[in-house]
């Protein structure tokens, strides 16, 4: 298993703890613009950094460049966001999981762009798990099929939303509110705030794209 943590430059107060990833030999870190500085400030040397670095002062940029052997600097006028460039870099590591942090809070356009990027890349790379994580939530897209969800006391609440199209054949097991062959329409909030009972829960659905959000109380 190879996990890539991509850190973007959103408000630092939104960052999740990186403690679960530190000390693991199978985790690589990529800093996107100011996100590279965030990693360094937490004692993590980025394996790669990308972006136009317009959010860094000259002194900060010099510090960042001292802490990596793989840096790609792009012009400010470009088609991709710095986060997009970092995600594309993450794919070159052939990962099993990509964790994107530093994209919530602050500018809503940056957050929306990150969600859309994760959605697109998940559809293009179904064998990779892609998540947006902050200090209180995890967000990911699920494709049709069966998904086993491990209980995590950090993220007690479990919610499902239809994304782009309705979700058909929804069956939930080992959760507080179980369902069989249900339907989640666009705009529905009915499947908000469920809870896993035991060590694992599961969701099966036959059609659609599911946005799953796990949250702290």
Q: Say which residues have a Cβ less than 8 Å from residue 77's Cβ, sequence separation at least 6.
A: none
3-state secondary structure of 210: strand
Q: Within this chain, do residues 165 and 110 fall inside the same structural domain, yes or no?
A: no
Element (H, E) at 168: strand 167-173
* Span between the terminal Cα atoms of the chain, in Å: 30
Q: What pTM was estimated for this model as a whole?
A: 0.91
State the CATH number of the domain containing residue 171.
2.60.120.320
**Number of CB atoms found within 10 A of residue 65's CB:** 14
Q: Within this chain, do residues 95 and 118 fall inside the same structural domain, yes or no?
A: yes
Q: Within this chain, do residues 20 and 60 fall inside the same structural domain, yes or no?
A: yes
Q: Within this chain, do residues 158 and 131 fall inside the same structural domain, yes or no?
A: no
Burial of 144 (0-12, 13-18, 19+ CB in 10 A): middle
Q: Within this chain, do residues 33 and 131 fall inside the same structural domain, yes or no?
A: yes
User: Do residues 161 and 213 touch, judged by C-beta distance below 8 A?
Assistant: yes
Q: Within this chain, do residues 203 and 121 fall inside the same structural domain, yes or no?
A: no
Q: Within this chain, do residues 114 and 33 fall inside the same structural domain, yes or no?
A: yes
Q: Within this chain, do residues 47 and 130 fall inside the same structural domain, yes or no?
A: yes
Contacts of the segment 22-27: beta carbons below 8 A, 24+ positions apart: 26/1, 26/2, 27/2, 27/3
In angstroms, rounded to a whole number, what is the distance separating the alpha carbons of residues 189 and 159?
9
**Number of CB atoms found within 10 A of residue 31's CB:** 32
Domain count, the chain: 2
Q: What is the dihedral of CA 140, 200, 96, 30, to 10 degrees?
A: 60
Question: Which residue in 88, 91, 89, 83 sits closest to 10, CA to CA?
Answer: 83
The residue among 116, 135, 154 that closes a domain is 135
The DSSP bridge pattern shows strands 210-215 and 137-142 to be: antiparallel
pLDDT tens-place string over residues 45-84: 899 988 877 777 778 877 877 777 776 665 565 667 889 9
Burial of 151 (0-12, 13-18, 19+ CB in 10 A): middle
Q: Within this chain, do residues 38 and 104 fall inside the same structural domain, yes or no?
A: yes
pLDDT tens-place string over residues 102-161: 999 988 998 999 999 999 999 999 999 999 999 999 999 999 999 999 999 889 999 999
Cα 27 to Cα 51, 80, 93, 178: the distances in Å are 21, 25, 10, 35
Q: Within this chain, do residues 9 and 58 fall inside the same structural domain, yes or no?
A: yes
| Per-residue pLDDT at 167 | 97
Structural domain range at position 172: 141-215
The residue among 135, 168, 188 that closes a domain is 135
State the CATH number of the domain containing residue 7.
3.40.50.10240
3-state secondary structure of 36: helix
Determine the average pLDDT of the residues in 85-100. 95
- Using pLDDT thresholds of 50, 70 and 90, give the confidence band for residue 23: confident
Q: Within this chain, do residues 14 and 80 fall inside the same structural domain, yes or no?
A: yes
Q: Within this chain, do residues 127 and 58 fall inside the same structural domain, yes or no?
A: yes
| Per-residue pLDDT at 77 | 58
């Amino acid at each position: 298993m190879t996990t890539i943590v991509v850190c973007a430059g959103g408000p630092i107060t939104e960052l999740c703890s990186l403690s679960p990833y530190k000390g693991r030999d199978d985790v690589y870190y990529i800093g996107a613009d100011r996100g590279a500085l965030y990693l360094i400030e937490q004692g993590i040397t980025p394996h790669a950094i990308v972006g136009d670095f317009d959010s860094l002062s000259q002194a900060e940029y010099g510090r960042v460049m001292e802490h990596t052997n793989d840096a790609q600097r792009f012009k400010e006028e470009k088609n991709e966001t710095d986060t997009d460039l970092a995600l594309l870099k993450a794919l070159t590591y052939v990962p099993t999981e990509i964790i994107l942090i530093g994209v919530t809070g602050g500018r809503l356009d940056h957050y929306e762009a990150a969600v859309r990027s994760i959605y697109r890349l998940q559809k293009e790379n179904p064998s990779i798990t892609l998540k947006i994580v902050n200090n209180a939530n995890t967000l990911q897209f699920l494709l049709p099929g069966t998904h086993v969800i491990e209980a995590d006391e950090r993220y007690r609440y479990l919610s499902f939303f239809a994304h782009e199209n309705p979700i058909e054949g929804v069956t939930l097991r080992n959760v507080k509110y179980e369902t069989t062959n249900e339907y989640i329409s666009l705009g529905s909030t009915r499947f908000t705030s469920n809870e896993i009972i035991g060590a694992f829960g599961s969701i099966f659905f036959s059609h659609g794209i599911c946005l799953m959000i796990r949250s702290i109380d």
